[in-house]
Amino acid sequence: MIGRGWVRTVMKDLVRHWKHFAAAAVGIVLGVAALTFFLALSLQVRDLLLVQIFPADHLEVVPKSADINLFVLRLDLGRDTLDAAVLKDLAALDGVDAVYPKMRLTVPAVASGGSSIFGAGMQTEIVADGIDPQLVAEELKDAFHDVDTGSRGTPCSRGAQCGEDAYCDRAGGSGEGVCRPFVPVLVSPYVVELYNGAFRRAYNLPKLNPDALVGLTFEMTFGASTFRPAARAPIRERMRFVGVSDRAIPLGVTLPLGNVRHLNLVLDSPDAGERYHSAVIELRSKDAAPGVIDAVEAMGLEIRDRGARRAALAMAVIMVVLAIVGFVLIAVAAAHIMHVFYLVVMVRRREIGLLRAVGARRSDIRRLLMSEAAVVGIAAGLVGVAAGIAAGAIADVLAASRLPDFPFKPESFFDFSPWLLASVVALAVVACVLGALPPAIRAASGDPSEALAGR
């Protein structure tokens, strides 16, 4: 009972008793479909949270707050900046590859522009920060870099004379001007998603393609404000979008660190240009995160994760709960498999006795029934996986047509990765084989003479 004869025997038995095996496979199909659906949903949502919204390969360190609420006011009694010594200590931590300081713009700023997109110019107060260009060098190359805006540029009368990285600044609006460099600017994907998902609806504006933002320019007036008059003469610069990065400030714009330092020095105070408000730690690996977090907190600092740890814990709990639901369904289906195989063994009692009588060993009977269960498990697993994928596709269609746009809305809410599908099919096979094991052992241990006698 090996080789081709074995396969023919197994397939012949499956065809002959297909109704019983189909009834046994129903529970496995439902369990596999549910497990595939839930796990694919959990994996995609987890990826969305921990990769796109809360990247886990970098940690942002901030001074530990010591806030006291006084009616509607919140008084900060702790320090709110980091000095060079703290940055050096952070760089020395085990598991840290690099430390990149960040500095908030400590003066107000007003941004204006957008006529090329919206048909009319817009103006708004805006917040900004500065980051070390090396933090985004891998994704943006040399597009994001410090620029010298204080030096006198070459004379010009039109923009073409200044090259691609500069513009002709004619303060009077006509006549001769000077070439001044564009200041590169980054925005967070959260800003784009927030605009496309909610802000544009309130003002009846078009959606924005984040890839097409690169190269667009606008003006920023630093030291100016629509709330209060400027204490010092404001500085006007022309900015140019160079990319969308999750390293940028969540709400606002991000400039090169050197430019923010210069603006704070000139418009605020000398000390404002030397104080860092946070630092981004680049981890050697994501596995190093727990140890680094503990070390940072031991230094009296905090990790600003924007809810990443809570999101990770929530997703872990959700994945465990959904996986338990799927496993329970498959376990119940395995129990159903056992009952069905007991029925199959009773129906095939004389057949099994005849096989024993003509020389089949007990191990052959067990292998025969276990092989049939494995085939049922493979078929049920594949059908269940297909049903789970189909359910996911239907859910994606309904989500696309029924759910409104919201920040970071994915094209698909499911991640049907090959390893997930293969694992679920393997689980279905294991469940069927384990469910068929007790009936197979009982069938193989029976007396063939009693089976042939019908007793």
Q: Of 211, 194, 204, 234, which is closest to residue 111 (Cα–Cα)?
A: 234
Q: Which has the higher per-residue pLDDT, 82 or 454?
A: 82
Give the integer Cα–Cα distance in Å for 8 and 2: 10
Give the integer Cα–Cα distance in Å for 258 and 261: 5
Cα dist from 426 to 14, 29, 75, 325, 389, whole Å: 20, 13, 58, 17, 17
* Whether pLDDT at 239 is above 90: yes
Query: What is the average per-residue pLDDT within 24-45?
Result: 82
Length of the chain: 455
pLDDT reported for residue 285 = 78
Q: Which has the higher per-residue pLDDT, 3 or 443?
A: 443
If you average pLDDT over every residue of the chain, what do you get?
80
In 3-state terms, what secondary structure has residue 215? coil
Q: Which of 184-188, 288-292, 432-436 has the lowest mean pLDDT?
A: 288-292
Cα dist from 255 to 44, 76, 108, whole Å: 32, 26, 14
Predicted confidence (pLDDT) per residue in 120-130, tens digit = 778 889 999 99
Which of 34-38, 46-50, 288-292, 371-375 has the highest mean predicted lDDT (pLDDT)?
Answer: 34-38
Q: Of 32, 40, 41, which is closest to residue 427 (Cα–Cα)?
A: 32
Query: What is the average per-residue pLDDT within 209-236?
Result: 85
R_g of the chain, CA atoms, integer Å: 33
Query: What is the average per-residue pLDDT within 79-95?
Result: 87
Predicted confidence (pLDDT) per residue in 152-190, tens digit = 778 888 888 888 888 888 875 666 888 899 999 999 988
Q: What string of DSSP letters covers 168-183?
A: EE-TTSSS-EEEEEPE
Predicted confidence (pLDDT) per residue in 327-373, tens digit = 787 777 778 778 777 777 776 666 666 666 666 676 667 777 777 77
Q: Of 320, 352, 374, which is closest to residue 441 (Cα–Cα)?
A: 352
SS3 content of the chain, % helix, strand, coil (to 5): 55, 20, 30
Q: Of 148, 149, 125, which is closest to residue 220 (Cα–Cα)?
A: 125
Q: What is the number of alpha carbons within 13 Å of residue 442 lying toward its C-beta?
A: 15
Q: What string of DSSP letters covers 219-254?
A: EEEET--SSS--SS--EEEEEEEEEE-TTS-SSSEE
* Whether pLDDT at 455 is above 70: no
pLDDT reported for residue 232 = 80
Predicted confidence (pLDDT) per residue in 435-451, tens digit = 777 777 776 665 555 54
Give the tokens for residue 319: 């994945």
Q: Which of 38-42, 194-198, 341-345 has the lowest mean pLDDT?
A: 341-345
Sheet strand arrangement including 166-169: 155-156, 177-181, 166-169
Sheet strand arrangement including 128-131: 122-125, 109-113, 217-222, 235-244, 183-187, 253-256, 128-131, 96-104, 278-283, 58-63, 301-304
pLDDT reported for residue 1 = 45
Confidence category of residue 237, pLDDT binned at 50, 70, 90 = very high
Q: What string of DSSP letters covers 119-142?
A: SS-EEEE--EEEE-GGGGHHHHTT
Beta-bridge partners for 180: 167
Classify residue 325 by its DSSP letter.
H
Measure the N-to-C terminal CA separation of the chain; round to a whole number of Å.
26
Instruction: Give the pTM.
Output: 0.62
pLDDT reported for residue 56 = 60
Give the integer Cα–Cα distance in Å for 455 and 450: 5
Portion of the chain with pLDDT greater than 90, in percent:
18
- CA angle in degrees (0–180, nearest 5) for 206-212-215: 120
pLDDT reported for residue 17 = 65
Helix axes 362-402, 349-357, angle to 10 degrees: 140
**Which stretch of DSSP H or E encloses residue 453?**
helix 448-453
CB 61 within 8 A of CB 279: yes
pLDDT reported for residue 219 = 92
